[in-house]
Structure 1
Amino acid sequence: MLVLLPDIMENLLAANSDIRMKALMLFINVIPHMKREEAKLIALRLAEKLLLLFDDESSRVRELSIRLFEDVMKTAVGRNTKKMVKKVQGALLPLFFHTNEKIESVAKPSWDTLRACAEFLGWRRLSFLAETGQTPLIGEYLITHKRNSADEYLLQSLLYVENPQASVREAAVRFMGLAARRRRILRLEKLWEICQSALQSLENDAEHSIRCLAAQTVLILTAVKQKPRSGWSLRSLWCCA
């Protein structure tokens, strides 16, 4: 089985959802029984694959990949810790968005893994916010805690404005609005044109609340360009209907 795992991992993304689910179950059952050094050999490569499965069309695949990510992350303690840190940081925003899913089997492990990631990174404040489910403050924390990641987070959020679930799309729009209020910490000016285009594409969204929120966020983006110190409150974006 140990000989087969690398091949299974390499073909994970090419398989259909049913096969992906079975492969993930295999990893979940096998990894706890592997020697630590054996697990470390595949941890980093598997973590990268799992990140791409967080957004799989199958809720079961999303659930299993998120659960497995936490297990894989914990095996990287030691010489691979620094490399795993980058993977974990890249997982924070996707996990945050998936906590907004209406599918509880995905939302619950997303909260659990987000908290575990925060503990792995030593970000105690984020761990507390995840444990207590303080959604608005988590968005603010991600934007302000590690400023050199702000551009990356914003680019990641663009993928979620097209998510099939309205609750996830809404969370992505709200996050972009929060980032707008911290525009001065971002480095890529072109991002705002990209964001504005993405938000305008939601003008025909099926959900009235998302259409309104997107329009409001576009106005905020425009206001920020004209008045960088506008009086908008970061948290107000999480309160608007």
Structure 2
Amino acid sequence: MERKRGWDTLLSADTHHNAVGLLAREMRRASSPLYYPIALCLLRLLTREKTSWELPAMAFLVEALDCPDMTEWSDSILEILSRRLWSQCTEMHRLVLRGLVLLSKAPGMADGVRSLTPSLVELLCYTGGELVGMVLSVLINQVQDRDIPISTPTALRLAELLPPLFGYDNIHVQLLSIYLFQKVMELAVDKSKQLLKTHVIYSLLPLFFHWHHENQDVAEASRKALLRAAGLLKRRDLVKLLKTEQPWRFSECLLENDKRRAVEYACQALPYLESPQEPVREAALRFIGIAGRYMRGQRVELQVAINVIEDMTPDSAAVKSLALQTQEILRAVQRPQSSPGSSSLKISSRRCRIGRLLSGAAAGGQRRTYSGNPV
């Protein structure tokens, strides 16, 4: 404790509970005969009453959760943690979630922790930073390697809440959210799968763009989840492209078979133009350019896309060039079609021009981003 400056930390009100946790770890290693009786005493007190020192008491108790002698008190421990799951105290909230992460790994605690699933799912709406990663870890531990079916309400709620976390500013949270989304698609009960399809459809683009992530783990996790999503939607054409790792053809294939969603897809792609990842921005620009082919007559939506591209954050020369090409494609589509008396040669020429622009954008992106790998 002296070497780790634990005694100084113990004297500060703000860090007192951290020092108690450190003391618990050192005591477990050096004074195990004292360790268990103290943990049991704190457990009994926390079960009966709420005290002014419950935060340091919880810090000590959490360190004891994986101690074999504590297994007989698992129900009481779970009750203590569940009562404080929605604590307004950030440090208490962190300790409770850390305790649940530990308990969710214990086979004998699976049923007890699973009873907290609805509350844990809702915590995804209100928790951020390190804590959202803990919530995701608890949820994943419940389903990982256990193949336990996920109920319809839970599956639908997770399918709604997880996609926004795919772009979280923490790689660990991104990976956990994508992996959990894949498990939801795999383990949802049969009657849920039809209801899940709408959510899965709107997860296709986020997963596709994260397939271009510079982090190889995120890119591969996205590809696997995208493959599961395409399978659930019975899109054999997309499955084939994913298995052969042909992301440059994914956009055309998706839009060709779902033309009526072109405007929705284009709007969904616009926020990715501000992604911190250059390959993601490039993928979004190429997608919007391809989607423009299916948006003729949607002058307002086309203009919105053009304006957003114009307002993009200054970028590399390659992205600037692709942005200009994409704007030209959208403006060409936006122009009114020729009257019936116009020359068919002009119409044909315009179509050829749009085709050349699209081909140039796609080829440029393929040369820059793809070399047989998803990133």
Question: By the TM > 0.5 criterion, same fold?
Answer: yes
Partner in structure 1 of residue 360 of structure 2: 236
8 Å CA contact 1:28, 1:68 repeated in 2: yes
Partner in structure 2 of residue 195 of structure 1: 305
Describe the SS at the equivalent of 2:190: coil
Partner in structure 2 of residue 40 of structure 1: 152
The percent identity for this pair of structures is 32
What does 1:54-73 align with in structure 2 at a 5 Å threshold? 54-73=166-185
One-letter amino acid of the structure 2 residue matched with residue 170 of structure 1: E
Tell me the distance in 1 between the aligned counterparts of 2:242 and 2:270. Answer: 22
Partner in structure 2 of residue 207 of structure 1: 316
Tell me the distance in 1 between the aligned counterparts of 2:187 and 2:293. Answer: 38
8 Å CA contact 1:31, 1:39 repeated in 2: no
* Higher RCO (C-alpha 8 Å, min separation 6): 1
Partner in structure 2 of residue 225 of structure 1: 334
1:155-197 Cα shifts (integer Å, max 9, x gaps): 110110011111111110111111122333xx74321111001
Tell me the distance in 2 between the aligned counterparts of 1:188 and 1:76. Answer: 37
Structure 1 residue ranges, 4+ long, deviating more than 6 angstroms after superposition: none
Tell me the distance in 2 between the aligned counterparts of 1:77 and 1:144. Answer: 31
8 Å CA contact 1:92, 1:114 repeated in 2: yes
What does 1:93-172 align with in structure 2 at a 5 Å threshold? 93-172=205-284
Unaligned 5+ segments in structure 1 are none
1:202-238 Cα shifts (integer Å, max 9, x gaps): 2x52311111111111112122233662432444322
Equivalent pairs counted in the alignment come to 237
TM-score, normalised by the number of residues in structure 2: 0.60
What does 1:15-30 align with in structure 2 at a 5 Å threshold? 15-30=127-142
Tell me the distance in 1 between the aligned counterparts of 2:187 and 2:359. Answer: 37
8 Å CA contact 1:98, 1:107 repeated in 2: yes
Tell me the distance in 2 between the aligned counterparts of 1:189 and 1:235. Answer: 23
Unaligned 5+ segments in structure 2 are 1-112, 336-346, 369-375
Partner in structure 1 of residue 87 of structure 2: none
TM-score, normalised by the number of residues in structure 1: 0.91
8 Å CA contact 2:302, 2:330 repeated in 1: yes
One-letter amino acid of the structure 2 residue matched with residue 192 of structure 1: L
One-letter amino acid of the structure 2 residue matched with residue 221 of structure 1: L
Tell me the distance in 2 between the aligned counterparts of 1:49 and 1:106. Answer: 18
Change in CA separation of 1:89 and 1:72 when aligned onto 2, cut-off 3 Å: same
Cα drift, residue 35 of structure 1: 4.4
Cα drift, residue 34 of structure 1: 7.0
8 Å CA contact 1:196, 1:221 repeated in 2: yes
